[in-house]
């Protein structure tokens, strides 16, 4: 059994072992699951889109909606266990606090990384023991610290002296992790500009913690969200070792290393390999290791469907070309907030047009001779609300047609606003391409 701080549930263990004992590689399993996944997602999209008549529906019935495949979250968990056995994942709730995702991860035995009172409350409410939560925000609101103390959420991070005084006042029994900064220059969203103590200041912070009789139990870092350089993990693990040794010389007995998040589906195996060997080189097996993956678990699991509310024809007389501006019912102030905050470029695909239902149809063969250029815009009155300034489709897209975008699970719905009176709450239709996950969820 993989080293884990929480017992792995029986169902999970069964399917995990079945996977190994049949000689199936995880790769085969994943390919199979991904095929079923597209089939289930396609069916859910089709039934919803076909049920909506835009000429007669109630206000909002034609709003954008998600289809979430919880089986994808489950497969990512197997993949984690296969590649990072030593690291217990604590899902970063901020990335997507979807209640079914949280429920599945809780059943799978992961921990949770929360950064506010509301996130802590949401996770506690589904029955997660407070010992499985880390309040991983180095700069905390006082009333939230009192809330954490009242509810037994002891693990929390800090990176400055003021936070130590605050902890002394409000929660002297907290189990503290010193967050150190990292080289996050190769990541999508840099975090170390805002958080993390420089290595040179670690010793002063530890001395202050000692003086205040606080309990520092480990080191935490984050290599940046959407990290792309595996070497960032090596350097961060080496720096963490340095701080562990400093702490030992001051009389602390650190027992846990928190390697943060930053993992992406595309580069996961390469990252995990570098991280695993760094851990084995610098941290003996009795040191507990936790991580805080967010994006990794949910990015691919969510697909969004949006409909075209308006279209403008743009004729260029000099070039003799015609292109179109499409206006959708969701944009950067809504679920496409990831374009602004997370530097994403979601890829538009046709879901439903006058040629019929087209999910998964244009995955290849896009280069037909008769391509038309489109730009895609959100529904608000702001010019910044653009989803794609140029994309090509081989068929005509009209008002009322539907588009879809894949990999919309991370940093999308959670940062949507209600700007201009548009909704920030969108339906999620759940499917599950893994029987193991369905069983855990009682679906």
Pick from 105, 104, 112: nearest CA to 129? 112
Q: Please report whether residue 197 would count as binding ligand PLP according to CB under 6 A.
A: no
**Residue 72 within binding range of ligand PLP, rule CB under 6 A:** no
Beta bridge pairs of residue 134: 113, 155
Smallest CA-to-CA distance from 219 within 205, 229, 231 is with 205
Q: 294 or 346: whose CB is closer to ligand PLP?
A: 294
Which class for 13: exposed (0-12), middle (13-18), buried (19 or more C-beta within 10 A)?
A: middle
Q: What value, to the nearest 5°, has the Cα angle with vertex 350 and ends 346 and 353?
A: 150
Considering the rule CB under 6 A, would residue 295 count as an interface residue with ligand PLP?
A: yes
The catalytic position among 114, 189, 264, 381 is 381
* CB of residue 192 to ligand PLP, shortest distance in Å: 11
Does position 293 bind ligand PLP by CB under 6 A?
yes
Is residue 261 at the binding interface for ligand PLP, with CB under 6 A as the rule?
A: yes
Closer to ligand PLP by CB, 15 or 299: give it. Answer: 299
Specify the residue, 107 or 119, whose C-beta has the smaller distance to ligand PLP.
119
CA distances from 335 to 126, 390, 405, 422 (A): 25, 19, 11, 11
- CA pair distance 285, 294, nearest whole angstrom: 25
Distance CA 88, CA 26 (A): 19
Give the per-residue contact string, 146-165, with ligand PLP (x = CB under 6 A; - = no). --------------------
Least distance to ligand PLP, CB of residue 104, Å: 17
If one asks whether residue 263 binds ligand PLP (CB under 6 A), the answer comes out as yes
Binding track over 95-114 against ligand PLP, x by CB under 6 A:
x-----------------x-
Residue 264 catalytic?
no
Q: Are the CB atoms for 82 and 75 separated by under 8 Å?
A: no
* Residue 225 lies near ligand PLP (rule: CB under 6 A): yes
Question: Residue 115 Cβ, how far from ligand PLP at the closest point, in Å?
Answer: 7
Closest CA to 138 of 165, 155, 153, 156: 156
Spatial separation of the C-alpha atoms in residues 102 and 107, rounded to whole Å: 9
Instruction: Tell the smallest beta-carbon distance from residue 221 to ligand PLP (Å).
Output: 9
Q: Is 184 in the site for ligand PLP (CB under 6 A)?
A: no
Handedness of CA 203, 205, 208, 213 (dihedral sign): negative
Spell out the long-range contacts of 192-195 with Cβ–Cβ below 8 A and sequence spacing 24 or more.
192/222, 192/224, 195/138, 195/139, 195/159, 195/222
Q: What is the rounded distance in angstroms from the CA atom of residue 404 to the CA atom of residue 360?
A: 10
Residue of 439, 385, 399 lying closest to 308 (CA atoms): 399
Rounded distance between C-alpha atoms, residue 137 and residue 398, angstroms:
46
Mask of contacts with ligand PLP, 296-325, x by CB under 6 A? x-----------------------------
Cβ neighbours for 277, distance < 8 A, ≥ 6 positions apart: none
Residues in Cβ contact with 307 at an 8 Å cutoff, skipping those fewer than 6 apart: 54, 62, 64, 328, 329, 400, 401, 402, 403
Among 77, 222, 241, 413, binds ligand PLP (CB under 6 A): 222
Query: Which CB atom, from 94 or from 190, has the smaller least distance to ligand PLP?
Result: 94
Q: Which residue is nearest to ligand PLP (CB)?
A: 261
Nearer to ligand PLP, 92 or 306 (CB): 92
Please say whether the beta carbons of 355 and 395 come within 8 A: yes
Q: Is 79 in the site for ligand PLP (CB under 6 A)?
A: no
CB of 139 to ligand PLP, least distance (A): 11
Binding flag, residue 77, ligand PLP (CB under 6 A): no
| Tokens at 201, concatenated | 């200041």
**Residue 94 sits in the site that holds ligand PLP (CB under 6 A):** yes
Handedness of CA 85, 87, 88, 94 (dihedral sign): negative
Nearer to ligand PLP, 260 or 334 (CB): 260
Q: Please choose, out of 57-65, 260-268, 313-321, 381-389, the segment that lies near ligand PLP by the rule CB under 6 A.
A: 260-268
**Among positions 97, 196, 294, 379, the unique one binding ligand PLP when judged by CB under 6 A:** 294
Examine residue 413 and tell whether it contacts ligand PLP (CB under 6 A). Answer: no
Nearer to ligand PLP, 264 or 308 (CB): 264
Closest CB to ligand PLP among residues 42, 293: 293
**Nearest distance from residue 392's CB to ligand PLP, in Å?**
31
**How many chain residues bind ligand PLP (CB under 6 A)?**
17
* Burial class of residue 433, CB neighbours in 10 A (0-12, 13-18, 19+): buried
Choose, by CB under 6 A, the member of 92, 197, 351, 391 that binds ligand PLP.
92
Binding site residues, ligand PLP, CB under 6 A: 92, 94-95, 113, 136, 191, 222, 225, 260-263, 292-296
* Residues annotated as catalytic (active site), given as ranges: 381
């Amino acid at each position: 059994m993989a080293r884990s701080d929480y017992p792995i549930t029986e169902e999970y263990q069964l399917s995990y072992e079945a996977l190994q004992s049949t000689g199936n590689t995880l790769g085969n399993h994943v390919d199979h699951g991904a095929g079923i996944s597209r089939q289930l997602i396609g069916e859910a999209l089709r039934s919803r889109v076909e049920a909506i008549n835009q000429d007669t529906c109630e206000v909002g019935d034609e709003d954008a909606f998600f289809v979430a495949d919880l089986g994808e979250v489950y497969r990512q968990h197997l993949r984690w266990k296969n590649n990072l056995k030593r690291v217990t994942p604590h899902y970063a709730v901020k990335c997507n606090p979807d209640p079914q995702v949280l429920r599945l991860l809780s059943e799978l035995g992961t921990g949770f990384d929360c950064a506010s009172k509301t996130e802590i409350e949401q996770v506690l409410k589904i029955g997660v023991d407070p010992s499985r939560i880390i309040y991983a925000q180095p700069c905390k609101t006082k009333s939230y610290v009192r809330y954490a103390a009242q509810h037994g959420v002891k693990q929390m991070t800090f990176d400055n002296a003021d936070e130590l005084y605050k902890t002394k006042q409000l929660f002297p029994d907290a189990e503290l992790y010193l967050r150190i900064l990292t080289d996050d220059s190769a990541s999508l969203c840099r975090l170390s500009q805002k958080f993390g103590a420089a290595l040179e200041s670690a010793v002063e912070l530890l001395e202050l913690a000692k003086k205040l009789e606080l309990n520092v139990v480990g080191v935490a870092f984050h290599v940046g969200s959407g990290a792309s350089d595996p070497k960032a993990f090596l350097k961060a693990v080496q720096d963490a070792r340095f701080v562990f040794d400093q702490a030992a010389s001051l009389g602390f007995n650190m027992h846990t290393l928190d390697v943060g998040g930053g993992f992406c589906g595309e580069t996961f195996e390469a990252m995990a390999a570098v991280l695993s060997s760094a851990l084995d080189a610098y941290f003996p097996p009795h040191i507990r290791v936790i991580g805080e993956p967010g994006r990794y678990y949910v990015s691919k699991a969510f697909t969004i469907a949006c409909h075209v509310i308006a279209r403008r024809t743009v004729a260029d007389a000099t070039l003799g070309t015609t292109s179109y501006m499409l206006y959708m019912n969701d944009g950067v102030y809504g679920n496409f907030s990831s374009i602004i905050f997370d530097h994403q470029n979601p890829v538009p695909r046709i879901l439903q047009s006058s040629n019929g239902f087209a999910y998964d149809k244009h995955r290849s063969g896009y280069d037909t001779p008769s391509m038309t250029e489109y730009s895609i815009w959100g529904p608000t009155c702001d010019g910044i609300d653009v989803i794609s300034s140029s994309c090509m489709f081989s068929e005509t897209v009209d008002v009322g047609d539907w588009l879809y975008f894949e990999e919309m699970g991370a940093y999308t719905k959670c940062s949507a606003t209600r700007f201009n009176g548009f909704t920030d709450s969108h339906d999620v239709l759940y499917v599950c391409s893994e029987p193991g996950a369905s069983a855990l969820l009682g679906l």
